[in-house]
Structure 1
Amino acid sequence: MGLLSKGSPLNWEETKKYADHVRKHGIVQFLNIYNKVKERQKDVLLWGDEVEYMLIEMDEKNGKVRLVLNGGEVLETLQDKGEKTNPNHPTLWRPEYGSYMIEGTPGQPYGGTMSEFNTVEDNMGKRRREASSVLNKNETLATITSFPRLGCPGFTQPEYKPTPVEKGVSKSLFFPDEAINQHPRFSTLTRNIRHRRGEKVVINVPIFKDKCTPSPFVEKFPEDDGEAARAALPDHIYMDAMGFGMGNCCLQVTFQACSIEEARYLYDQLATFWIDKLLAQHIAHLFIRDPLSLFEENIYLDDENESDHFENLQSTNWQTMRFKPPPPNSDIGWRVEFRPMEVQLTDFENSAFVVFIVLLTRVILSYKLDFLIPLSKVDENMKVAQKRNAVQEGMFYFRKDIYKGCNPALDSSSSAAQNGLDSEGDNEYTLMSIDTIINGKEGIFQGLIPILNCYLENMEVDVDTRCTILNYLKLIKRRASGELMTMAKWMREFVDKHPQYKQDSVITDRINYDLLRKCDSITKGEERCPELIGDPVNRGK
């Protein structure tokens, strides 16, 4: 979500006049926070998840699904009924980039006990029921990463046409400004990024080439002034607005560490970030950027007690990991945010991914495991991960010896020495499949799931919680092995088998309606989907 300041937004020409001011005072603000809390120790181990939802309308009569642009009203209603009435309400609601989106989190963070894992799915269920209860007839809540017809004509309710040649913030050929959240932060970001670039955002995604897809596939843009024709690539889907990225949904987890040292260690391990550089060098890279959203009332601040300039730059660096200092004058500790997960269809799946990551952090911290590889290899992994069927076909760089210098209790069970692995230079990491990384392969890597199981065996866990965790790990294990489909593969197969699909790469309104109707039924538990979710025991409430 990022920083949500209020006030009078400045345009890019005005904002860039203050860029050096924001950078200078952002550094001062971080240093003030750092010097006040750098010695802080023994913060309680806390964590929480963030789930982003889309509001959609099911038009059964016309066989269409549209994104409903009333997220602001829904959000206000939820906040009025929740946190504004009861500070201890079990859910919190926040805005997101799309005016058809909302974000839900637990009302209070989860603690460090294992029993907390047994409450995640229940809280996600509360959020979904709570938000669903304030929707209009024929509206529902969807947790899908991307709306299949995003940017196609008539994809919003109410319908608005894009305004590429008129005054507006995005000037998109496909994405109307009304689909952007009305909070000034989001429109200001959109407008100022476009002005700073001197052109619109350019996104080219390879088209799914099917038997009847034109070759080459070349789009035509009737309202184009020439910019799209120059930017669009053959055999690609061209998109020209931030909404095609920030208008998608994801799943995130934030951890509060016990100290700055623990937070730095956790950040590095989850990001697999190499060469032991100082925290100063990490923070410094934020300040090579320009501020993208600035409000007139927030230019001159009290650097001792405010951090808006630091957060301005921090929150517009959209990385897969985020290192988060404590807010000024707060009892909140040093935090790390894990950001790259795609949101899943059901609360069970989302809970499984959240619990898996949180458990992994416990193992990393408990046994001081070492997952570090060069950041250049992390970047290569991200490129592979975006390819179709990457889970089964992709190969990813991963460290072979994660036990170097770790807790001897775990090291003795499986070490690099036992497998004869060299730990010098490039030999510290190699290419592995997702199945090997998650489930392990004899002689290559033990696997994350077996490591987590080993950790659980040494912990005191009640029967119900253990059953819940094992259900979650089973899902992750079967997804990684290919026994269960990923959401992307399941959606592709649904479209491919639809009677109206002409093998031309086009998802029609009818196909989209049937797909999302099926998704909604699965989400609500009205239909089973063993090929996607399996058949978990005690799936939650």
Structure 2
Amino acid sequence: MGLLALGTPLPWDEAKKHADQVRDLGIKQLLQIWNKYRKNERDVLLWGDEIEYLVLAYDEENKNACLSLRQAEILAELAKNESLRKAGGNVPDSKEPAYTSEPLPTFHPEFGRFMLEATPGAPFGLTWKDLLAVEGNMKLRRTIAKEHMAENEAPITLPSFPMLGTKGVFTQPYYPPTGSQSRSQFIPDEAINPHIRFPTLAANITSRRGMKVAINMPVFCDENTPCPFNDPTIDYDRHLYPEDDDVRNGAAKEGHIYMDAMGFGMGCCCLQITFQAKNITEARQLYDQLCPLGPVMLALTAASPIFKGFLADVDVRWNVISGAVDDRTEEEKGLKPQKDNRYVIPKSRYDSVSTYISQDPALRSEYNDLDLVIDKDIRQRLVDNGVDERLATHFAHLFIRDPLVIFQETLSESPDDKADHFENIQSTNWQHMRFKPPPPGGNIGWRVEFRSMEIQVTDHENAAFAIFIVLLTRAILSYGLNFYIPISKVDENMATAHHRDAVLTKKFWFRKNLFPPRKPASNGSQTPAPSCPGTPPPVEDEYTLMTVDEIMNGRQDEFVGLIPLIESYLNTVNVDVVTRCELAGYLSLVSKRASGELQTGATWIRDFVRNHPDYKKDSAVSQSINYDLIKAVEALGSGQGREAGLGDRLLGRFG
């Protein structure tokens, strides 16, 4: 979560009057950044991860696992501890534990009052020592967080809390769902971080779109699931707010789990990786090449089979978040004729990327095959000020969105040497990749954020996927790999990734040949070349459908596979035997997850529920099932529970 500004937030009726002003100031700030930093070279190659935790509180008397709403108190305790460390580390008579790992992890607030975000404290480098420190750093974060919680609380890494929004008690303390910000039937406003930005964000999304958000996820139909399934948690007779009419007017779909608040999406947790490139050219290259990987990694890390107390017929959280922040009006969705809005917008603010941005000669125009909606005036303004057309188009697409939270005080302040207005729109375009310009006034370079992966139950898994992505970027840059497919196929793959057990049962569009064209060198050998003479093959011949196993592990002589590519890269660099063996363990987990030898978190959770003695084969997850599931997740996350065989199918016996 970015910097949380303080000030007076404008309600949507007032904020919309200043939307064009914020856009104008945001583009001015972007151009200042462009002019100051576009020629940066040889920035240090760094990277870091973000892990989000759910904070659980156990009611042992009633055998109930709830979400703890003590985020602020926990962060305050963590801040006190950090102050002690900065004052000199070990303090006499202090009961705080002493940590020797430096730099210390840092903790941040998130949208849910039951969430914590943790980062390493300082970026990792690209040394083997740094790579092998990732899992230990993640474990340290979990340990520190736990030590600053109440005795009955624990941090867990699960994308979505299974009982969020159910009829029973799912928060500690309990609040009824009657708040005026979300106006949700299911989630109380007290579950939202009380910082004024967050409830304003929820309220303004509802106001802008003219109705509450409506999220419908297909239910998993088991032997005793009612058919047709009509979400039994909906109160059709509630008349607390005008938005209560939404469900009576068809917002809830038959056969689906219905959710009506931003908290269902932004209350989810994920694993995100940010890379700092050596310059803007390399950052744009990484952005493009990682883009087609997003849906594949979403399926590979799937861990979200339960929403609002029901098993869903999906395995991932992505569309829940997409629906939770979808502020488009019916005009912008194309459901009504254009009258008050300028654009018909095909996607939510939280969705897959819609355009490639690199200047790589391998980027053919056919790959950007979507009818991209852009602000033509903004694109022209950027081009007139020296931004190339491809990058100008990218930002002109992002800036079709309105700023959702505007602080009154910022409108009269000088925008120079800041990025607040730019980030107001940039940071609320939650796409599966994010291209991040340097913030003014610092020594941070051009960055790329990989955003699609689901958080995993254990630090070992999270480290494995983080290390895999890092090593893949090194192979991409070392070999000049080409992952381009039409961007429309990336959209299709994102939809495919949602299917139950997609990692084993579905195929994804992927490029057949990842290597750049080769042409004879003067000495007769074959050397890579950016292009070869002659007419390139039709784009349709460059990609095909593959399983995740084939993409990761290869397909006989037809496709090399990403893990063999990484292993080939490791063979070309100086890696000692011990390090190579440890890296092989992480790559093995990814490989076995792709082949099905190890289960995804989603499959493991679904099997846990369906094999529970209290499960009635009706898709419903009871309080007792949830309690046992969360206890198992906590045990695995803290490094316990393996003796009982809890994680054998998830991690392997020696994971």
TM-score (norm 1): 0.94
- What is the rounded CA distance, in whole Å, between the counterparts of 1:156 and 1:198 in structure 2? 29
Residue 357 of structure 1 pairs with residue 469 of structure 2 = yes
Give the alignment of 1:122-201 within 5 angstroms: 122-153=136-167, 154-163=169-178, 168-201=180-213
1:360/1:452 contact within 8 Å kept: yes
Helix, strand or coil: the match of 1:535?
coil
SS in structure 1 at match of 2:450: strand
Change (3 A) 1:301 1:430: farther
Give the gaps of 5 or more residues in structure 2. 88-101, 293-355, 357-362, 366-388, 530-535
Where 2:50 maps in the other structure, the secondary structure is strand
CA contact 2:518–2:526 (8 Å) conserved in 1: no
Partner of 1:419: none
* 8 Å contact kept, 1:325–1:334: yes
Partner of 1:387: 499
Q: After TM superposition, which residue ranges in structure 1, 4 or more long, deviate above 6 angstroms? A: 406-409, 411-415
Q: After TM superposition, give the deviation of residue 86 of structure 1 in Å.
A: 2.4
- Supply the distance in 2 between the matched residues of 1:408 and 1:499 (Cα, whole angstroms): 66
Q: Which position in structure 2 is the counterpart of 1:310?
A: 422
Is 2:146 aligned against 1:95? no
| Residue of structure 1 in register with 2:276 after alignment | 256
Structure 1: distance between partners of 2:618 and 2:527 = 52
Q: Is residue 519–residue 528 contact of structure 2 (8 Å, CA) maintained in 1?
A: no
1:338 to 450, 462, 467: 450
2-side partners of 1:344 and 1:192: how far apart? 32
- Given the alignment of the two structures, is residue 452 of structure 1 paired with residue 566 of structure 2, yes or no? yes
Q: Tell me, in whole angstroms, the C-alpha distance in 2 between the residues paired with 1:386 and 1:121.
A: 28
2:218 maps to 1:237 = no
Q: Which residue of 2 aligns with 1:418?
A: none
Matches within 5 A, 1:431-510: 431-510=545-624
Structure 1, unaligned runs of 5 or more = 416-421
- Contact kept, 8 Å, 1:475 with 1:533, in 2: the verdict is yes
CA distance, structure 2, for counterparts of residue 448 and residue 367 of structure 1 = 12
1:228 aligns with 2:228: no
- State the alpha-carbon separation in 2 of the partners of residues 373 and 484 from structure 1: 29
1:23 aligned residue: 23
Give 2:298's aligned residue. none
Alpha carbons 2:519, 2:527 under 8 Å: kept: no
C-alpha displacement of 1:394: 1.0
Partner of 1:265: 285
Separation (CA, whole Å) in 1 of partners of 2:126 and 2:517: 25
Aligned-pair CA distance for 1:77: 1.6
Report the TM-score when normalising by structure 2: 0.78
Query: What whole-Å deviation, never above 9, does each CA across 1:30-86 have from its counterpart, x for those lacking one?
Result: 010001111110000000000000100122221110000011111122123126852
8 Å CA contact 2:516, 2:528 repeated in 1: no
Give the Å deviation of 1:204.
0.3
In 2, Cα distance between the equivalents of 1:459 and 1:300? 54
1:309-353 deviation digits (Å, cap 9, x = unpaired): 000001100111100000011100000001011000111100000
> Number of residue pairs matched?
527
* Amino acid of the structure 2 residue aligned with 1:514: D
SS in structure 1 of the partner of residue 489 of structure 2: helix
2:518–2:528 CA contact under 8 A, matched in 1: no
Q: Shift of residue 443 of structure 1?
A: 3.4
Matches within 5 A, 1:9-158: 9-82=9-82, 85-86=85-86, 89-153=103-167, 154-158=169-173
1:283 pairs with one of 364, 377, 395: 395
Query: How many angstroms apart in 1 are the aligned matches of 2:122 and 2:50?
Result: 12
